[in-house]
Structure 1
Amino acid sequence: MQIVNQIIEIQTDIGINIHNITPQVEAILTATRIKNGKVIVFVKHTTTAVAINEYEVRLLEDIKRHFAKLAPADAKYLHNDLHLRDVPPDEPENAHSHLIAMMLNNSETVPVVDGKLALGTYQSILFFELDGARKRQVLVQITGN
């Protein structure tokens, strides 16, 4: 069995933004020549997430609006009492970003069948920036033969 680890770097914008990383994951898979196995996509940050869903502009806007209702950025959060915590001077008030991340996933697993991601017709691997703007890392681990 072969195991391949690779990092995808994503430069994000401030606030909630959603990136389709399916093409990058497919490119990594193609380079491995693994025909059957699995791909694990893991985000390495507490204010990011990953999910499998449709990458459609109006749906993406619906997702952002839904998250803003569930965890409004301007609500009162204890985590945002920065003066009560030992934090760097540029620490953002981002409790809402942590809460949204907890509603999503920090990893997704996709089967590999005949050298291809076994995603459905409208499925894409989506990376969610919930805080930003930052350079983010996503670990892609592919195992199989």
Structure 2
Amino acid sequence: MTLSNHKLETLANEAYEITATIREAVSASGVAEGLCVVFVPHTTAGLSITSFWDPKGLEDIHDDINRLVPTRIDFKHQFDTPQDAAGHVKSVIVGVSLTLIIMNGQPLLGHSQGVFFNEFDGPRQRQFFVKCSRD
């Protein structure tokens, strides 16, 4: 089993493709068949798998998430800002971990799928972890 920690500087309401980093972590792990868990230890960020072909698709996703959970001042909890409070809700909806199958030494993803780190607050210094293990 291997665990790697990766750093990321983010801006508010942005998505960052981390597929290449995950592929590198899986390759470095030496695991040919098994599982890869990606985890974000933040309460205002999340992970998603979606198409990487058109960056406008990511904008659409974030636009709709923002429509579903708008930044507003009437949240019952206000940690730092209304944006931070909205980020907590968005993070819960999107999720902070993904489990990928490792097959032939690579994460199993569809032809046009990529893994994205989603920042719902920011700007921030962020990190995410990748853990690979055999079956």
Separation in structure 1 between the aligned mates of residue 55 and residue 104 of structure 2, nearest angstrom: 30
1:1-145 equivalences under 5 Å are 3-13=1-11, 15-55=12-52, 56-80=54-78, 91-93=80-82, 94-144=84-134
> Number of residues paired by the alignment?
133
Gap runs ≥5 in structure 1: 83-90
Gap runs ≥5 in structure 2: none
What is the DSSP-based 3-state SS (H/G/I as helix, E as strand, rest coil) of the residue aligned with 1:6? strand
Separation in structure 1 between the aligned mates of residue 25 and residue 98 of structure 2, nearest angstrom: 16
Please tell me whether Structure 1 or Structure 2 has the larger radius of gyration of its CA atoms: 1
The one-letter amino acid paired with 2:81 is P
Separation in structure 2 between the aligned mates of residue 35 and residue 106 of structure 1, nearest angstrom: 25
Separation in structure 2 between the aligned mates of residue 69 and residue 138 of structure 1, nearest angstrom: 26
Question: C-alpha root-mean-square deviation of aligned residues, in Å?
Answer: 1.4
Q: Compute the TM-score of the two structures, normalised by the length of structure 2.
A: 0.92
* CA deviation after TM superposition for structure 1 residue 92, in Å: 3.0
The one-letter amino acid paired with 2:90 is I
Q: Percent identity?
A: 26
Separation in structure 2 between the aligned mates of residue 131 and residue 31 of structure 1, nearest angstrom: 31
Separation in structure 2 between the aligned mates of residue 32 and residue 109 of structure 1, nearest angstrom: 15
